[in-house]
Structures are given as structure tokens and as C-alpha cells.
Amino acid sequence: MRVQVTPLDRDMDFDTLASWDVVIIGAGPAGLAAALTTAHRGLTTLVLEAKETPGGQPQFLYPDKRIIDIPGFPDGITGEELSSRVYQQAVNALVQFRFNEELLDIQDTDQTHKEDSLKSVVTNRQMYLCRKVILACGLLHFPRKLPVLDALDSQQVHYKVPRIADYSGQRVAIVGGGDSALDAAVMVLERHGQMDLIVRQDTNGKADTLRRIQDSLGRIHMATEITAARITDARIAGTGLELSLSDGCTLACDLVLVQIGFLSSEDIFRRLNLRMNDNGSVAVDSYFETSRAGIFAVGDVHGDIKLVVVAWAEGIQAAIYAFKEITSPFWLNEKRLRDLKINLIGDKLAEAARARRSLTQ
């Protein structure tokens, strides 16, 4: 049955809504794609973002890095530009946003709207009633920090890649061995900076990126850690920070960029009483719905492939499933039953085939 979509009214007073059709947690690639999809289908859509800006990891981790694996951008596109474009597209579609709001809980209520049971999404600032929730807040939430550097309480220690102007031509120490650290190292070297890469064990980033660093004369300290750090008198030493390394080296640098991964949001998901996978991600079915009916999860919260285009695809699919649940009651449950029957038939046919093969052997 084809559902007639009623576009959102541009004169709608969203601030007076008693409840929303969809609340999306996270304004990264998956959340923005889901929001675009639900809003284009006439659903009132609210996006809650814990940070002060939209964009997720492309905006937070590498705003100046050109992403080259996005279809349609043959010359690549920076994380900042990509985030800005998709966010503006969502705003144009009448998606509503609330920033600096961190998810605390999702509660079931006894209230209903058009026969849908409403959920209460509780943040550190407010409570929102809605029919469906899409979790797109990312599995990896807060950057891991180094106590030896945090003790300095210095603005020269960064956990997010700084703007180009902040490190162009300067001496930069980068801590980490993953792709984010290697990409940052290349960016520094391409802008005529001096770069020391400090890797605690072995690098697990792309081999070709590592070769680019070596070809650009970047210094790499393998199996090395920072054992001590101090702030120097920039007027005398002309540096700002001095790092002592476990390999016996002492580095003078203008800033340090730490890229050693993120702390998991697993505690948040367990607090929501969601079924989890062994690796700490959220378990979902083939429709991206979690163990709690009406709560979907997309992107890094459950997926193994950490690509923008994959996050987009999952956000769009979950949004369509949420839309069909709202506009076609019992649609998803009926489809699940049909798929289950098909799977059971397939399993029986496979079992019969195995039995026939065993008899002929």
C-alpha cells in the first residue's frame, strides 16, 4: 500500500509540539541522513547532539582532511565542508536541532499518539516525547586522554585535529598509530611542519599512508611512550612543550596531538537496557531495530564498517522502517513474520540437501 506523504508545513511552530514523530540521537553522518529521510517523508524530526556543532566524526576528527571515498566528489571533500552541506540540507528539510544535549535515558510511557505508544527521551537539559527513536550517536564517544599530558593543563595539547593555521610550519608531536594519527601526520608534513609520530606499539594504519610519512621525512618512534612532559619558556626555548620519550629522545614541540582512540558509549547503551553484542556494540535486527521496540540503531553504534557512505545508507534504511511503522501499523511485524517463514523454509531445504549429500557419499 502506497502512503501519501504530507510535507511538513514551514509555518509550523515546532517549539509547541507536544510530541515528535522521530527523535534522533546524534548529528553525525548516520543521524543527519536519517533525519533528512524522515523529514522528507513529512515526519516531525528532532536531532539531539551532545556536542556544540553537527557533523560527528568527520567534523570532530578531521575537519581539514579531504575525504576521497565519497561518491560524487572526485577531488575529495573536507570533513567540515561535508558536514556543513548535509547539515544545511537537513535544516532546509525542516529538521530541528538541539545542541549540547547529552542522552541520559529513554523511558517507556503510558501516553499514546495516533495509537503509537510514546517514549520519553531524557537529556541533561530536557525531556522529549516521541513515537520512534533512532540512535546514531556513535559507539566511540569521548577521546582517550594521556594523563602525562593532561597534567600540564595546556592549550598546546589537542585531542581533536586543530585548524590548519594552528600547525602549519610548526613542530608537532602526534601520539597514536591508527589511521587518524597517520592522516594527521601527513597533513602536518604537507604544510611544511616538522612531525614526530609516537607509537606505543605497532602502527595499525594504512601502509601507504605510513610510506608517505617516511617519504616526507617524518620521524617515527615505534614501541615508544611519553614518560614525562613539561612546559618550557617559549621566549627562551622557542618551543612550548618538551617531551621525554621511553626511547631516550627528548622532543621540543609547539603542540601535541593525541589520537589514541575513544572511550566506548557502552555504559549508556546498557543503561538503556538494550541487548548488546560481545564487542560492546548494540545488537540490531535486519531492520536496524534494537531489542526495545521502536528504538533503532545505526552507524558506528552497531556496525563494523566505519565509512560515511555506510552510515548514510543505514540511517536512510532505519528512517524508512520507522516511517513505515508509523504510517503502516503492524507493517514491520508482518514483514518480520514473512521473512522468518522464508528463512525457516531455506534452513529446511539446506538441511535436506545436506542429508541427501551424506547419503550419496
Grid cell in block for residue 170: 610548526
Decide if pLDDT at 175 tops 90.
yes
Distance CA 332, CA 287 (A): 8
Q: Domains along the chain?
A: 16-142+262-338 (3.50.50.60), 145-258 (3.50.50.60)
* pLDDT value, residue 213: 93
Decide if pLDDT at 217 tops 80.
yes
pLDDT band with cut points at 50, 70 and 90 for residue 174: very high
Classify residue 26 as left (phi > 0), alpha (psi -120 to 50) or beta. left
pLDDT band with cut points at 50, 70 and 90 for residue 237: very low
The 3-state DSSP class for residue 299 equals: helix
E strand segments, 218-273: 219-221, 226-231, 241-245, 250-253, 255-258, 262-264
Residues ≥6 apart with Cβ < 8 Å to 342:
none
Average pLDDT of every residue of the chain: 87
Decide if pLDDT at 338 tops 90.
no
The mean pLDDT of 77-88, rounded to a whole number, is: 94
Distance CA 342, CA 348 (A): 10
| CB 86 within 8 Å of CB 75 | no
Which residue, 156, 70, 214, 13, is CA-closest to 199? 214
Distance CA 29, CA 90 (A): 11
Higher pLDDT, 96 or 238: 96
This prediction has a pTM of: 0.69
Classify residue 15 as left (phi > 0), alpha (psi -120 to 50) or beta. alpha
Of 92-101, 135-144, 246-255, 329-338, give the lowest mean pLDDT range.
329-338
Classify residue 324 as left (phi > 0), alpha (psi -120 to 50) or beta. alpha
Grid cell in block for residue 226: 611519553
Which value, in Å, is the radius of gyration of the alpha carbons in the chain? 24
* pLDDT value, residue 57: 82
The set of long-range contacts for 3-11, using a CB threshold of 8 Å and a minimum separation of 24, is 3/324, 3/327, 3/328, 5/40, 5/41, 5/42, 6/42, 7/42, 8/39, 8/42, 8/44, 8/93, 8/94, 10/94
What end-to-end distance do the CA atoms of the chain give, in Å? Answer: 50
Helix axes 207-215, 179-190, angle to 10 degrees: 30
How far, in Å, are 157, 241, 244, 245, 250 from residue 253 at the CA level? 11, 5, 11, 13, 10
The mean pLDDT of 307-326, rounded to a whole number, is: 94
Grid cell in block for residue 152: 600540564
The mean pLDDT of 68-73, rounded to a whole number, is: 88
